[in-house]
Amino acid sequence: IHNMRRTAQIWSGILGIDVTEEEVALCMIGVKLARESFRPQRDNLVDISGYGLVYEQILRGRETLKRGGVLPNVDRQREIEDVG
């Protein structure tokens, strides 16, 4: 998820518009769909599923924050993402 945030910041700078983490996840799904339509590979489908899960996590996190909740430990989440 942190990578989506960093990617959104980079894309925002390049494009000159605000890009959200959700939009990054959806665009990455689009990239994988384009690749799959040209050259089908299992990896594309795995990545599409992964980006879909990331998208869901982003949406859940936003809903949790709207309700005044607290997100899981960010430092622990970074450790998990760095391993993956």
Alpha carbon separation from 54 to 24, 37, 44, 64 (Å, rounded) = 10, 22, 15, 15
Contact (CB, 8 A) for 51 and 25 = yes
Q: How many CB atoms lie within 10 A of CB 58?
A: 19
What's the distance, CA 18 to chain centroid? 15
pLDDT in tens, 64-75: 888 887 877 655
Instruction: Provide the residue ranges of all domains of the chain, joining segments of one domain with +.
Output: 2-68
With 0.85 as the threshold, say if the pTM is over it: no
Give percent of the chain above pLDDT 90. Answer: 68
Interatomic CA distance for residues 51 and 63, integer angstroms: 18
Question: For residue 54, which of 20, 22, 79 has the smallest C-alpha distance?
Answer: 22
